[in-house]
Amino acid sequence: MEFLDPLTDFLLSQVGTWGLVGIFVLMAIESSFVPFPSEVVMIPAGFLASQGELNLFAVILAGTAGSVVGAYVNYFLALRLGRPAMLRIGKRFLVSERMMGRTEAYFAKHGDMTTFVGRLIPAVRQLISIPAGLARMPLGRFTFFTGAGAGLWVTVLALLGYFLGERAASSDAVLRDTMLGVLGVVVILVGLYVAGKRYFGRTMKEHEVAEPVEAE
């Protein structure tokens, strides 16, 4: 979208100036309703870390923390205001009712794990906190899955900037291949999660059946 170009240029110039606080604030904004790509924050931050201007671990921590705080904004707004109000707010930030509905359906189908996977999907990343809030997902679980997903994505982007520098930010092919790689890892992790959940659930049921019932 052309209207994002000035914003992107501004962010690229300010990451180095604002440092870790700027990374935290910008990722918190990105994680809420404001539609700008996290790549324009985390890749330059990773590049600055490779130049010794920032600490790579601190960059990842600041980016992840900012993402979680931004996700909290949407989560608590949805929790307190409800769906009609969130739809009105979303429309002011170019979020259509259809887009919101798709995100809600995705959450309803896949449950808590959606908050992890959703952090890695463009256009869903900013919205996935809303159905979690509407569904009153426990805050601890929301924080865990959101932090895990955001942390993975932030780490990938920061490492791209660290090892590939500005080329990573300017190459659509690099970003596309990175996204495909991350999604591949996510598919594997989700598969392991589902398989483990089913295995332990089945084991618990078999244990309950095998356990003799004491006569009263």
114-131 per-position pLDDT tens digit: 888 878 777 677 788 888
Is residue 168 within 8 Å of 160, Cβ to Cβ?
yes
32-85 per-position pLDDT tens digit: 877 667 887 888 888 888 888 889 999 999 999 999 999 999 899 888 887 777
pLDDT higher for 49 or 189? Answer: 49
Q: CA 188, CA 199: separation in Å to the nearest integer? A: 16
Q: What is the pTM (predicted TM-score) of this model?
A: 0.74
Which of 35-39, 60-64, 146-150, 208-212 has the largest mean confidence? 60-64
Q: What is the pLDDT of residue 95?
A: 64
In 3D space, the residue among 168, 178, 161, 149 whose CA is nearest the CA of residue 42 turns out to be: 161
- pLDDT-wise least confident of 9-13, 28-32, 67-71, 151-155: 9-13
